[in-house]
Structure 1
Amino acid sequence: MNLQRTTAGRAAPGPGPGAVLASLAAAQFTVMLATSIVNVALPQIRAGVGLSDTGTTWVVNAYGLAFGALLLAGGRAADLLGRRRVLIAGLALFAVASAAAGLAPSAAVMITARAVQGLGAAAIAPAALALAMDQFPTGPGRGKALGVWGAVSGAGGAGGVLLGGVLTQAWGWPWIFHAVALGSALVLAAVAVLVPKPAGRRAGGFDLMGTVTVTLALTCLVWGLTTARSAGWTDPSVLGALAGAAALLVAFAVIERRRTDALIPPRLFATGRVAAGNLLMALLGSVWIALFFFLPLYQQQVLGASALATGAGQLPLAGANMLGAALSPRISRRIGATATVTAALLTEAAGLLWLSRISVDGSYLADILGPSILIGLGLSTAFVQLTALAVDGVPPQDAGLAGGLVNTTRQVGGAIGLAALATLAGSVTAHAPAHQPHLAALTAGYRTAFAVSAAVLVVTALLALVLTRRARPTAPGTRTAAAAPAPRSLPAETAPTDPTPAR
């Protein structure tokens, strides 16, 4: 039990792990909410601040670009400066930027505020995950904690569409940002009260050159991919950005080989689990983010649903997501982590394949409800398992970095997937027969995107069969047969994420 010292000098019970986890999960929910809450309000935001077609896309892209590019830096800063401290600073910045977006008088202020939101999110996500793993270093508790993490992550994406629709229709688009600002402030207060202060500060060097190089590389990569959606893959600026990203990544690899305080130290990949988890998470992310892009578009542009109805349509997906995340640790204990993640990916693939049969004269009940439930169950279960894999066996001093890395691969994978799928869907629509109605051509593009997404998940499931067996991951909530000697006690912010040794 956590203890706090009273004025009389006696020990008093402090917040339990459940309360701490709730505050940290709320921080993760806020980050995921901001990713999708603007989707259904983009037409109103465009009219409100005078955005062009290109500027409208950057309301989404500015957040994703800053978030994806700075996650590794945020994770390492959390390890070195203190996870609680970085989390609180990130929440404060996030709240201020959200309020600024709601009050934005111009397009430039709106896009800048969204980029600063992404910067705050890059500090929040890895620090919150590392702190959550500190509270549940091993055993069944970690499986339950990861189940909660998966539930709030998926619910944040679906809930963002719902809340965005409700607030936009009821009070106007500025309230989607005011609500996020208020929620962030409340989460900040909860973290400040509930998350224990560290007993000490961790010493260590900061790989400035490596951090700058990889941040620039990720910035070029994400910018090139997001710009490719509108400008096309052969645009000189897109090709230049992607070439710059490749050159910077090579430079980063050279720098890291010579550094004793490398940003991504080789010990992070010693068990083989981290690499496997991140590769599979990147593939899952490539489908995840695209789903919440295309599904609302189909509901609004083809089926003619309002912003409110589109948001409400996400409720079954969110409910299935929370159920899958809650059941994931229990399933993995029964059938094993490899079988669980493979089945989850195939379940989500089945839902996306079902969505690939949508029609221009379809309906929510016939075309969306059933697939949404399958997708929610599979997505959350896979997310829990892959997050566990990506942080399993990580040295305690690298927990924040591991959290930043798995979030980075999901974000970058999502940027790659969305850029490729949006280009593919747009191409199918543009090359539709001249006599085909516009809505039918749009639907054909969406169908193609969903079908390719299903194929990607089938490939991911096959890779999971090979990689997770080779990595021999520990299922969330289980222990290995042979346990290593317990490590020495560490401060609250640097407690081991998992003392279980590689098998």
Structure 2
Amino acid sequence: MTSIVDVVSEEKSAPKRTNLTVALIVIAMAQLMIVLDGTIVNIATPHILTALNFSQSSVQWVVTAYALSFGSLLLLGGRLGDLLGRRRMFVLGVTIFALASLLGGIAPTGGLLLTARALQGAGAALASPAALALINTTFPAGKERNRAMAVYAAMSGAGAAVGLILGGLLTEADWRWTFFINVPLGLAVAALAPRVLIESEGGDGTLDVWGAVTGTVGLFGIVYGLSHAGQQGASWGDTETLLPLLGGLVVVALFVVVESRVKHPLLPLRILGDRTRAVSLTAMLVVGAAMFAMFFFLGLFVQQVLGYSPVKTGFAFLPFSVGIVAAAGIASNLAGRVDPRWLAGFGGLLMTASLWGFTQLSLDSGYASHLMPWVVVMGFGMGFVFIPLTLTATAGVHKDDSGAAASALNTAQQIGGAVGIAALTTVFTHYATQKGTELAAAGQAAMAKATASGNPPSKGQIAEATHHAALQAQTFGSTQAFWFAAGMILVATLLVIGLLGIKHTELANEEAAVAVG
């Protein structure tokens, strides 16, 4: 017989229905802040490059440091939420994020800025899995959870829109304001959260310290090695490339061994043992790589090649945000009627087509005719991918593992982004350098011919030709990176269509399956 204490405890642990909307707003605002930061920094990257003396190849670390810290610490953040309370970790994470943003805004050197970016990632790693887990455990499976996930995904699109436009406006004043903007937003969310979110009960078990250490070190080694290989003058045979890569792979293997033997693992391998979840996480990893690469390379292309101002660049990406918000709403409505493999597969094909469109960019490309259509297609594709994969990655998970499952999903996306930028920057650097060498040789030959004919070029003509060649090399390197990204997305799409076998009816009924399990 259920005791009065049990009833009171159950009522205390479940949020009142009238508070669900307010709670979702708070959670969504945190997601807005995290996404806002990423897109703002992409717009500010060319200005940060100049102000703090980064090189063209090393400036990627302004983006990568955040994604790497975020992704490598997400599993730890999710587990801490399961053990110590998700609301507590949500508030702590948002507070750390806000204070780290303040540090980034006042950073006088590149090293301190990268430190602030890493701290921002650590704060996001605490807040993000707690936020997603709170959605997964607060809203009942089916129509209500689908709508909540749609709001969550839509805020990602809104965050991109607000971030790009604010990034442009603030960068024109001073790029440092792109960090300061997070401070009042983050502190407001942290202050409001305890008033509207109900704390989850702490779970049983202990913290998997060795899992946290091996997972973080292993992922860092892999991304560092890839990033170094992408730097100007580096190669795959360099010691500084090979040692971190091989060492990272070894430590990740050790992480798997640790997780299979400890009593309370950071990432329970049973989460990865489910085929539906494994396919979903693999696909999300690749999607993260494509998304981060698109913003990184297109942000540089639009400003440096097309010559757009930061504000104009922000508005140039606005159609992407409109597309992802619209597609998320459509996908959430279809999720109860269409199997996730077809929704995500359709989205993946749209993303592949968009990336192919970006491979056709040139110095003569116009925004309305060559860029905007594919930006819209990419937004719709991502919206159709995010909703079904988020649902399938967290479907059928026991409530005690909901934080770990949410962490695994976010980890896949963030590490995919970090590895994607690092790997595709390697592609970019190789082809841009190759093209630059060809153009330099052709330019020298043309200059020698003109000089021999008694009509040597002026210094202004030489400078203009050199600048034009640099833009050609940058554009060629970017298009080759987009070719690789398109191939990655196509493979992930085929994987989803072929192996993601869960039905939409199973997603609607998975809450009952969890209860039985």
**CA–CA separation in structure 2 for the residues paired with 1:458 and 1:13:** 43
Q: Which runs of 5+ in 2 are unaligned?
A: 1-7, 9-14, 444-468
Match of 2:479 among 429, 447, 456: 447
Match of 1:133 among 114, 131, 136: 136
Which residue identity is paired with 1:80?
Answer: L
Match of 1:83 among 83, 86, 90: 86
Is contact 2:346–2:384 with CA below 8 Å preserved after alignment? no
Which residue identity is paired with 1:417?
Answer: G
Aligned-residue offset at 1:13: 6.6
Bigger mean CA deviation after superposition, 48-57 or 28-37: 48-57
Is residue 464 from structure 1 mapped to residue 466 from structure 2 by the alignment? no
The structure-2 alpha-carbon separation of the partners of 1:233 and 1:134, relative to structure 1 and needing over 3 Å to count, comes to: same
Aligned twin of 2:3: none
**CA–CA separation in structure 2 for the residues paired with 1:412 and 1:299:** 25
Which residue identity is paired with 1:189?
Answer: A
The structure-2 alpha-carbon separation of the partners of 1:387 and 1:233, relative to structure 1 and needing over 3 Å to count, comes to: farther
**CA–CA separation in structure 1 for the residues paired with 2:495 and 2:151:** 26
**CA–CA separation in structure 1 for the residues paired with 2:382 and 2:132:** 19
Aligned-residue offset at 1:360: 0.9
Of structures 1 and 2, the larger Rg is shown by 2
Q: Deviations over 1:224-262 (max 9, x none)?
A: 223332144332112111111111122222222222212
Is residue 203 from structure 1 mapped to residue 204 from structure 2 by the alignment? yes
Match of 2:186 among 184, 187, 190: 184
Q: Deviations over 1:273-316 (max 9, x none)?
A: 22121111111112111011111111112111111111111111
The structure-2 alpha-carbon separation of the partners of 1:62 and 1:266, relative to structure 1 and needing over 3 Å to count, comes to: closer
Matched ranges for 1:7-406 at <5 A: 15-49=18-52, 51=54, 56-169=59-172, 171-198=173-200, 200-230=201-231, 231-269=234-272, 271-406=274-409
Q: Secondary structure at the match of 1:233?
A: coil
Is residue 478 from structure 1 mapped to residue 501 from structure 2 by the alignment? no
The structure-2 alpha-carbon separation of the partners of 1:343 and 1:50, relative to structure 1 and needing over 3 Å to count, comes to: closer
The structure-2 alpha-carbon separation of the partners of 1:93 and 1:473, relative to structure 1 and needing over 3 Å to count, comes to: farther
Bigger mean CA deviation after superposition, 85-94 or 437-446: 437-446
Is contact 2:85–2:199 with CA below 8 Å preserved after alignment? no
Aligned-pair Cα RMSD in Å: 2.3
Is contact 1:142–1:477 with CA below 8 Å preserved after alignment? no
Aligned-residue offset at 1:97: 0.8
**CA–CA separation in structure 2 for the residues paired with 1:14 and 1:155:** 25
Q: Deviations over 1:4-63 (max 9, x none)?
A: x9xxxxxx9785212211211111221122223112223433444555667644332322
Is contact 1:20–1:194 with CA below 8 Å preserved after alignment? yes
Q: Secondary structure at the match of 2:362?
A: coil
The structure-2 alpha-carbon separation of the partners of 1:339 and 1:51, relative to structure 1 and needing over 3 Å to count, comes to: closer
Higher helix share: 2
**CA–CA separation in structure 2 for the residues paired with 1:247 and 1:158:** 40
**CA–CA separation in structure 2 for the residues paired with 1:28 and 1:144:** 16
The structure-2 alpha-carbon separation of the partners of 1:292 and 1:99, relative to structure 1 and needing over 3 Å to count, comes to: same
The structure-2 alpha-carbon separation of the partners of 1:306 and 1:329, relative to structure 1 and needing over 3 Å to count, comes to: same
The structure-2 alpha-carbon separation of the partners of 1:90 and 1:292, relative to structure 1 and needing over 3 Å to count, comes to: same
The structure-2 alpha-carbon separation of the partners of 1:303 and 1:59, relative to structure 1 and needing over 3 Å to count, comes to: same
The structure-2 alpha-carbon separation of the partners of 1:283 and 1:304, relative to structure 1 and needing over 3 Å to count, comes to: same
Which residue identity is paired with 1:444?
Answer: F
**CA–CA separation in structure 2 for the residues paired with 1:290 and 1:159:** 19
Q: Secondary structure at the match of 1:329?
A: helix
Q: Secondary structure at the match of 2:361?
A: coil
Q: What fraction of aligned residue pairs are identical, expressed as a percent?
A: 35
The structure-2 alpha-carbon separation of the partners of 1:111 and 1:331, relative to structure 1 and needing over 3 Å to count, comes to: same
Q: Secondary structure at the match of 1:205?
A: coil
**CA–CA separation in structure 2 for the residues paired with 1:87 and 1:15:** 21
The structure-2 alpha-carbon separation of the partners of 1:459 and 1:158, relative to structure 1 and needing over 3 Å to count, comes to: farther
